[in-house]
Amino acid sequence: MNIQTAVLPPHAEMVRAMLASDTAYEGVFFTAVKTTGIFCRPTCTARKPKPENVEFFAHADDCLSAGYRACLRCKPLDAAAIAPDWVQRLLKAVDADPELRWSDAQLLAEGIEPLKLRRWFKQHFGMTFHAWLRTRRLGVALGGIKQGTSIDHAAFDSGYESLSGFRDAFQKSFHITPGRAAASEPLLFTRLTTPLGPMIAMAERRGLVLLEFLDRPALTREVEELQNRYGYVVAPGHNAHLQQIENELALYFAGKLSEFSVPLHLPGSEFARQVWAELQQIPYGHTSTYGTIAARLGKPGASRAVGLANGHNRLSIVVPCHRVIGADGSLTGYGGGQPRKAFLLRLENAGVQLTQPLAF
Question: DSSP for 198-245?
Answer: -EEEEEETTEEEEEEETT-TTHHHHHHHHHHTT-EEEEE---HHHHHH
169/277 Cα distance (integer angstroms): 39
Check residue 264 and give its pLDDT: 97
Q: Which residue, among 60, 21, 12, 11, has the nearest Cα to 44 in the 3D structure?
A: 21
| Confidence at 82, pLDDT banded by 50, 70, 90 | low
Which residue numbers are catalytic? 40, 321
Residue 63 annotated as binding site: no
Looking at per-residue pLDDT, the higher value among 20 and 82 belongs to 20
pLDDT digits (tens, 9 = 90+) for 244-277: 999 999 899 888 999 999 999 999 999 999 999 9
Residue 74 annotated as binding site: yes
SS3 label, residue 30 = strand
CA 260, 263, 284 angle in degrees (round to 5)? 20
| Confidence at 296, pLDDT banded by 50, 70, 90 | very high
Give backbone dihedrals phi and psi of 56, rounded to 5 degrees, phi first.
-115, 145
pLDDT digits (tens, 9 = 90+) for 313-357: 999 999 999 999 988 888 887 878 888 888 899 889 887 765 555
Task: Provide the Cα torsion 297, 299, 304, 308; round to 10°.
Answer: -40
